[in-house]
Amino acid sequence: GIIGGILAAWLYCKVAKLKFMKYFDLVMPSVALAQGFGRIGCFLAGCCYGRETTSRFGVVFPESGLAPAGVKLIPTQLISSAGDFLIMIVLLLYYRKNKKDGTPGSVGSLYMLLYGVGRFLVEFLRNDNRGGVGMFSTSQWISMVIVAGGIVLYLVNKKRHKR
């Protein structure tokens, strides 16, 4: 969804003759905020659930949810939600600190880096069936691509901005 949204925003900026990197920086904190609320929705639906746990922080879902009922599970949805809200705060603080001499696209690339790393790590805690290749889930492979893309985007924009 994130990749499709970024591509749609890029296309919109091309048609509207807007500078994509400035637009990208502007919207990514809002995307992180929306993702945080979206993961709360996942928690309420019982999807995207975590592994079994004996921790006191585990949650037990009712029979009507998508998660296994009556089993204490790691609340990966809430961990992801907290991470997304934290990413939003970090992006806003980063923008505030660097807005005068910041490189266009640096907020967006920081989002890609933080989100990709966070999602990659949370995937180790999840237990819902979502497929994979080798020892990593599909989401972890996508996260690796997002992190690499964020690094490349930052470096390319930094080099372009120095000119």
65-119: pLDDT as tens digits: 789 999 999 999 999 999 999 999 999 999 988 877 778 889 999 999 999 999 9
Using DSSP, state whether 2 is helix, strand or coil. Answer: helix
> Average pLDDT in the 22-30 region?
90
Which has more pLDDT, 36 or 7? 36
With pLDDT > 70 as the criterion, what percentage of the chain qualifies?
Answer: 98
Please check whether residue 24 is in contact with residue 105, taking contact to mean a CB–CB distance below 8 angstroms: yes
pLDDT at 11: 94
pLDDT at 28: 93
Report the C-alpha gap between 74 and 116 in whole angstroms. Answer: 20
For 62, counting Cβ atoms within 10 Å of its Cβ (0-12 exposed, 13-18 middle, 19+ buried), the class is: exposed
Q: What are the start-end ranges of the H helices in 17-67?
A: 20-45
Please check whether residue 61 is in contact with residue 68, taking contact to mean a CB–CB distance below 8 angstroms: yes
For 19, counting Cβ atoms within 10 Å of its Cβ (0-12 exposed, 13-18 middle, 19+ buried), the class is: exposed
